[in-house]
Amino acid sequence: MKNFISFLIICAMVVVIYSCNNQMEKEQPQTAEIIGKPDLKLESDRMTPEALWAFGRVSGHEISPDGQTVLYGVTYYSIEQNKGNRELYAVNVNGENFRQLTRSAKSEFNEMWRPDGKKIGFLCSESGSVQLWEMNPDGSDRSQISNIDGGITGFKYAPDQSKILYTKEIPIENKFPKLYEGLPKATGKLYDDLMYRHWDHWVEAYSHIFYTDYDGDKAGTGKDILEGEPYHSPLQPFGGIEQVCWSPDGKTIAYTSKKLTGKAATLSTNSDIFLYDLESGQTVNMTEGMMGFDIAPVYSPDGKYIVWESMEREGYESDQNRLFIQNTVTGEKTYATQGFDQNVSGPVWSADSKYIYFTSDWHSRTQIYSYNIENGEIKTLTDGMYDYKSVAVAGEMLIADRNSISEPAELFNVDIASGEATQISFTNQELVEHLTMGNVEERWMKTHDGEDMLTLIIYPPHFDPNKKYPALLYCKGGPQGPLSQNFHYRWNYQIMAANDYIIVAPNRRGVSGFGQAWQEQISGDYHGKSTQDYLTAIDEMAKEPYVDKDRLGAVGASAGGWAVYYLAGIHEGRFKAFIAHDGIFNEEAQYLETEEMWFENWDKGGPFWDKDNKVAQDVYTHSPHKLVQNWDTPILVIHGGLDYRVVFTQGMTAFNAAILMDVPAEFLYFPDENHWVLQPQNGILWQRTFFAFLDKWLK
């Protein structure tokens, strides 16, 4: 629902997997079996749920100080143990000398090179809580460095290696202690303001930043630079250590925080970049007066500049993500990507501080770009039907993780001059070579109002144009953000195609990568142009001789689930099956059930009780639940009990309504999953239920 799929998907997908594995490894007993690459025996060349969970998930790429070695992690999942484990690997930047560095039952994460290159630091809970550990570059001599009470959540070395900063959860004090006196077994939680729960957890702690001396052997308890402040840094729930950095001289810590609480925090996206001076203990708000999201500061190697990602408008989480630069001497700020009608993500500096490299999505692909500090020129460095998810600098080349609809993420080195990419990790080569993937086609269509819309078509493996296939309309969530080349581990186009469905995925109004004006046409108008775009896409494909127009389905999650519920009331017999996951059914209830009110106020126009607000009233008039009397088509509803963005009662009421209307319906409920499905056995159950339902009604 929330658009971490735009500027956040590139970092937030890593953070989600990282957080999930972190939690799972905290619960993992000392005697747990080591989870590694599964020995999967495939009966055919078709993608299956088990094959999807067998892929190793590559994440992170930390470059050694000498620019010669890439450090990264791979997560493998055990279906039997119902959990994942992340191990660390290294490979030379030219793809040679691949080696596995760790082999344990405890996930290692937040890995990074010590500035002198003699050690690798990482986080692990081997001692019972998550602490900082170090090992030699070959994986030997593993030793615990910190012993911080309650554990830590992230860390970074100071450039001169004299200090370490780390992040840690600080419990929120009880505001009503007298009421709880003598009641040690009371479980009630008393609140007097908003933002008491967020995404999938009740907010009972703040994330704060600490720094401490480091002598190359041990790191002690540090100083809290947000001491006494009831704010998060990094931002919750998806922000990680990338939102905090050291200045090159080690005298300043730059960090991201939204210094608002309660009702103000739930109404605003206004986060800022703060500079904390270690010597004076003073903090300066570097982006004061900039009212949108300002996140992820990065100093240039020479210390002359600091770059960050910035959105302009307060309350709009999908505003254009811009590149801003500040001169650290003069304080002058530069809107570096002005006139560049695309989003910017993950900026990194060249070693000589003359260039900034970043990723940006355009026309269903995410590529690497460069920005020239001297003349402001922006160049596209890469090409092809891929998503380059993030980028790092390694001497004269770049290292990036890249995936596509047909291939999971692997690491590549990229020649800066030519853009040529060479694969250097081969985690899933054997599995990819065994599976036959369906062809992916880009097709431009004319919308109902004459605009050009790019639609992705994914065909079944061994496609026969002389046969007729059922087709699925994929309704994208977000609702903003890219619909691109991401290799998803649940909404995977190729596994849908492997079940002999043609997938139709339109870049309808609201999708990023087609200019900000195209993206903004969905706010306050989910039911209008974007819905017509969906119908255009499926109607156009239904004209093809190999598409059976009597066997069409529509599927989607979050805002895509909203679209499914809405289409169920207006489709006029087009579809024979619907599947909605974590979708919004009742807009009025959603307004008061969710927690990020900035989203509701921007995308829905405001509260339903504001009768003079024409945009809001139009939105609530077109709430899907008001069309349920028209439902006549089988529907599968899926929802997670820990989803606090779109509460599970939205799915429950949709299912109840279908049954009361005598519409064939099923309800798959996961009490221990949030807005996603992160556990292997639940993920496989999701896939099996998904295809059993579709096969029942479309085959």
How many independent structural domains does the chain possess? 2
pLDDT at 620 over 70: yes
For the chain, what is the mean pLDDT? 94
Per-residue pLDDT of 193-228, as tens digits, reads 999 999 999 999 999 999 999 988 788 789 999 999
pLDDT at 455 over 90: yes
pLDDT at position 155: 98
Report the percent of the chain where pLDDT is more than 70: 95
Question: How many CB atoms are closer than 10 A to CB 193?
Answer: 12
Give the integer Cα–Cα distance in Å for 108 and 35: 12
Last residue of a domain, which of 410, 431, 452?
431
Residue 130, in any domain of the structure: yes
Mean pLDDT across 38-66: 94
| The pair of three-digit structure tokens given for residue 247, joined into one six-digit string | 């200045």
Residue 498, in any domain of the structure: yes
Are residues 603 and 669 both part of a single domain? Answer: yes
DSSP letter string, 637-684: EEEETT-SSS-HHHHHHHHHHHHHTT--EEEEEETT--SS--SHHHHH
User: Do 644 and 616 contact (CB within 8 A), yes or no?
Assistant: no
pLDDT at position 172: 96
Task: Work out the angle between the directed axes of helices 529-542 and 559-570 (0-180°, nearest 10).
Answer: 70
Last residue of a domain, which of 431, 462, 490?
431
Are residues 359 and 217 both part of a single domain? Answer: yes
pLDDT at position 640: 98
Contacts of 687 (CB under 8 A, 6+ apart): 49, 52, 490, 495
Length of the chain: 699
Q: Which of 219-228, 397-406, 564-573 has the lowest mean pLDDT?
A: 219-228
Residue 674, in any domain of the structure: yes
Are residues 415 and 509 both part of a single domain? Answer: no
Which of these is catalytic: 268, 425, 558, 623?
558
Give the integer Cα–Cα distance in Å for 136 and 113: 10
Which of these is catalytic: 200, 272, 603, 643?
643
pLDDT at position 32: 58
Question: What does the buried/exposed string (b/e) look like for 80-106 if buried means 16 or more CB atoms within 10 Å of the residue's CB?
Answer: ebebbbbbbbbbbbebeeeeebbebbb
Cross-strand bridge partners of residue 73: 59, 88
Residue 544, in any domain of the structure: yes
Residue 273, in any domain of the structure: yes
Mean pLDDT across 255-270: 98
Residue 3, in any domain of the structure: no
Are residues 400 and 506 both part of a single domain? Answer: no
Give the integer Cα–Cα distance in Å for 477 and 482: 10
pLDDT at 311 over 70: yes
Are residues 252 and 394 both part of a single domain? Answer: yes
Mean pLDDT across 522-526: 97
Give the integer Cα–Cα distance in Å for 59 and 111: 11
The verdict on whether 571 is a catalytic residue reads no
Phi and psi torsions of 19, nearest 5°: -65, -40
Give the integer Cα–Cα distance in Å for 233 and 80: 36
Give the CATH number for residue 655. Answer: 3.40.50.1820
Are residues 592 and 652 both part of a single domain? Answer: yes
Are residues 28 and 113 both part of a single domain? Answer: yes
Which of these is catalytic: 208, 571, 639, 675?
675
Phi and psi torsions of 131, nearest 5°: -135, 170
CA dihedral (525, 528, 529, 534) positive or negative = positive
Are residues 509 and 372 both part of a single domain? Answer: no
Pairing label, strands 223-224, 244-246: unpaired
Question: How many CB atoms are closer than 10 A to CB 260?
Answer: 17
* Pairwise pLDDT comparison (33 vs 580), residue with the higher score: 580
- What confidence category does residue 17 fall into, taking pLDDT thresholds of 50, 70 and 90? very low
Give the integer Cα–Cα distance in Å for 677 and 585: 20
Q: Which of 24-28, 452-456, 534-538, 564-568 has the lowest mean pLDDT?
A: 24-28
Q: Is the bond leading into 234 cis (omega within 30 degrees of zero)?
A: yes
User: Do 263 and 194 contact (CB within 8 A), yes or no?
Assistant: yes
Are residues 108 and 208 both part of a single domain? Answer: yes
pTM (two decimals)? 0.94
pLDDT at 19 over 60: no
Per-residue pLDDT of 625-640, as tens digits, reads 999 999 999 999 999 9
Are residues 420 and 481 both part of a single domain? Answer: no
The verdict on whether 675 is a catalytic residue reads yes
Last residue of a domain, which of 431, 452, 467?
431
What ranges make up the beta strands (E) of 114-181? 120-124, 131-135, 143-144, 154-157, 163-171
Are residues 421 and 451 both part of a single domain? Answer: no
Range of the domain at 686: 442-698
CA distances from 469 to 385, 438, 485, 546 (A): 25, 13, 23, 6
Residue 436, in any domain of the structure: no
Coil vs helix vs strand at 90: strand
CA dihedral (269, 559, 198, 618) positive or negative = positive
| The pair of three-digit structure tokens given for residue 641, joined into one six-digit string | 């009990």
Residue 437, in any domain of the structure: no
Per-residue pLDDT of 415-425, as tens digits, reads 999 999 999 99
Mean pLDDT across 333-357: 98
Give the CATH number for residue 300. Answer: 2.120.10.30
The verdict on whether 643 is a catalytic residue reads yes
Are residues 57 and 95 both part of a single domain? Answer: yes
